[in-house]
Amino acid sequence: MTVIGVVGGGQLARMMIPGAINLGITLRVFAQSPDDCAAPAITAVGDFRSAEDLMAFCEGLDVLTFDHEHVPVAVLEALEASGVSVYPRSAALALTHDKTVMRAALAQLDIPQPRWAVLGASRNPEEVLQQVGGFPCVAKLPIGGYDGKGVRVIESFADIEDWMALGDVLLEERVNFVRELAQLGARRPGGSWVSWDAVETVQANGVCSEVIAPAVGLTEAMRADAARIGSRIAHDIDVVGILAVELFETADGVLLVNELAMRPHNSGHVFTELSVTSQFEQHLRAVSDFPLGATTLRAAHGVMVNIFGGVDPDAARSVADNYPAIKIHSYDKSPRPGRKAGHLVASGSQIEFVLQDARDAGARMNTGRYDG
């Protein structure tokens, strides 16, 4: 039986458990704490920055994969050098570690993206600013940001004085987008790639709050364009596992790459119910080089709503009572303001009803009781 190790014990590792159970894969999770929400699969607790801790964890694994992108590249390279199958590989993952490296790699592939430039000690700030079209623009810390952290829309350099003192800052054109999309797919080590149709993602305060799958009203040309961008990045960067490409859709129908993730992604949670194969099962298939599952949709439309703070048991009961076809996922986390504590998915044949049900159920769950 295949044994897959996952670094990180968050909800993404947790949601890999059902796929592993079905496929007969043994899943072992390396977590920071035994109480992390992937608890049922945690077999080791340690520091993901430590090559020694991870090397010990890799004993007996067929493949090592990830719930997050924070393992240092040098550690990944050491594991690979010692013969561990690491998927996605360190060379691909390196792009998600440093947004300037990612921008440079996409530029080399000629993938459409916002104008960008790096603000550093040796550069003239005004020249850099000109490259991205002036203020307002978007400033990003190259390393370590997520869920809106490490990203600021700035009106002057005074807004990022603290960051500039630390080192390089990535500046990006502020794209006048009409909405955000995400293109997901999965790739096996040999190259086979299967994708889902692009979804629309809705953000609140820089964090994903809602996903509509597939994106409504996308022209066939744009659907194909999104698919092509995903496929090209996956192949040219040699991604193995799930690749999620966050995209801006501009008013004139152009798609620009915002961010990349090489693991199951919040924008793909909807596929657990909506698609024949969930992104979690697909990730396990891809990294263990097993044939990829069908991405056919089981209903015309699906909508996912994130649950923040905590999963209120009374609210969950009320949603389950009123919407027996809606699936609530609880990550079994203790409540804390703002944390992603769960999500729910509605699906059906008419988008207006699916949206209405999902939003009503989401409002019942997101009462602010745990999110003050």
**Site residues (vs a copy of itself, CB under 8 A):** 1, 14-15, 17-18, 21-24, 26-27, 40-41, 194, 276-277, 285, 290-294, 296, 298-299, 311, 317, 320-321, 324-325, 327-332, 342
CB of 73 to a copy of itself, least distance (A): 31
The helix-helix angle for 73-81 and 51-58 (nearest 10°) equals 40
The smaller minimum CB distance to a copy of itself, of residues 24 and 217, is found at 24
The smaller minimum CB distance to a copy of itself, of residues 97 and 329, is found at 329
**Contact (Cβ atoms closer than 8 angstroms) between residue 288 and residue 63:** yes
The Cα 154–Cα 170 span in angstroms is 12
The Cα 164–Cα 141 span in angstroms is 9
In sequence order, the β-bridge partners of residue 204 are 207
The smaller minimum CB distance to a copy of itself, of residues 185 and 342, is found at 342
CB of 325 to a copy of itself, least distance (A): 4
DSSP element (H, E) containing 96 = helix 90-97
The smaller minimum CB distance to a copy of itself, of residues 133 and 335, is found at 335
112-135 as b/e, with b when 16 or more CB fall inside 10 Å? ebbbbbbbeeeeeeeebbebbeee
Q: Measured on CA atoms in the order 15, 235, 290, 30, is the torsion positive or negative? A: negative
CB of 290 to a copy of itself, least distance (A): 6
The smaller minimum CB distance to a copy of itself, of residues 140 and 301, is found at 301
φ/ψ of 134, rounded to 5, equals 80, -175
CB of 1 to a copy of itself, least distance (A): 6
CB of 174 to a copy of itself, least distance (A): 39
**Contact (Cβ atoms closer than 8 angstroms) between residue 227 and residue 239:** no
CB of 295 to a copy of itself, least distance (A): 9
Closest-CA residue to 342 (of 358, 361, 328, 357): 328
CB of 236 to a copy of itself, least distance (A): 25
**Contact (Cβ atoms closer than 8 angstroms) between residue 204 and residue 222:** no
The smaller minimum CB distance to a copy of itself, of residues 298 and 336, is found at 298
**Contact (Cβ atoms closer than 8 angstroms) between residue 341 and residue 331:** yes
Closest-CA residue to 351 (of 152, 236, 179, 211): 211
The smaller minimum CB distance to a copy of itself, of residues 9 and 150, is found at 9
The CB density around residue 301, as the number of other CB atoms within 10 Å, is: 22
CB of 298 to a copy of itself, least distance (A): 5
The Cα 134–Cα 172 span in angstroms is 10
The smaller minimum CB distance to a copy of itself, of residues 87 and 331, is found at 331
The smaller minimum CB distance to a copy of itself, of residues 113 and 266, is found at 266
3 state DSSP class of 157: helix
CB of 335 to a copy of itself, least distance (A): 11
